[in-house]
Amino acid sequence: MYLLVGLGNPGPKYKKNRHNIGHMAIDMIAKKYNLKKKNKNKFGDVFEGQLLNEKIFALKPKDFMNLSGISIKKFLDFYKINIKNFLVIHDDIDLPLGKIKIKVGGGDAGHNGLKNIDTVIGKNYKRIRIGIDRPRNNKNVDKFVLENFEKKEEKEIIFSINRLTSFLQYFISSDANDISILMNKLSKK
């Protein structure tokens, strides 16, 4: 069993924000792999299905970004999902727009969603980071991440999420502990 989590904030107000790139990814993954939405779930928006004969859940936590670790921990415990089969997709201001990187563990780099997950679950989980670039003209980072993507940026982000979605089967493989194949695929652009 696998759990993919896309970080973001709930509600239509935040739907196209830079900070909601994780939610955007979950929506595209659910559509591509025909994952079915579970009605009224206490953890958030949950999609369920099969990929490579493995049960897969995709979650957009019900809590705001800064508290997302709570829903995620409850979900992992409820379904007894091993942390090695857990992947978080999130925005990263330290990467150029649309650049994708994957890693296991590490620091939170000031990302409050990751900070909360690290506190509740620990740091040793897989992370897919999608670049949203840094704010220009000394713009406040907190305001920047809560702004919507510009049209030209949105096209680049959709392209990147589509790439991620296409290579997802490398995460859901018999050798899920070795993410080097996925890292190599995603790092090429």
> Looking at the predicted structure, is the pLDDT value of residue 176 above 50?
no
Backbone φ, ψ for residue 81 (5° rounding): -90, 130
Catalytic-residue membership of 19: yes
CA angle 16, 134, 10 (to 5 degrees): 25
pLDDT of residue 41: 78
What is the 8-class DSSP label of residue 133? -
Please give the Cα distance from 142 to 172 (Å, whole number).
34
| Model confidence pLDDT, tens digit, residues 23-72 | 999 999 999 999 999 877 788 999 999 988 889 999 999 999 999 999 99
52, 37 in Cβ contact below 8 A? no
Active-site entry in 19, 23, 90, 111 = 19
- On the question of pLDDT at 92 being above 70, the answer is yes
Its sign, for the CA torsion 118, 40, 11, 136, is positive
Q: Assign residue 94 the CATH number of its domain.
A: 3.40.50.1470
| Torsion over CA: 171, 175, 178, 181 (sign) | negative
Residue 177 has pLDDT above 80, yes or no: no
- pLDDT > 90 in the chain, percent: 66
For the entire predicted model, the pTM comes to 0.91
Confidence of residue 138 (pLDDT cuts 50, 70, 90): confident
Question: What average pLDDT is seen over the chain?
Answer: 89
Domain that holds residue 48: 2-187
125 and 105 in contact (C-beta within 8 Å)?
A: yes
H or E, element range at 92: strand 86-92
Q: How many domains does the chain divide into? A: 1
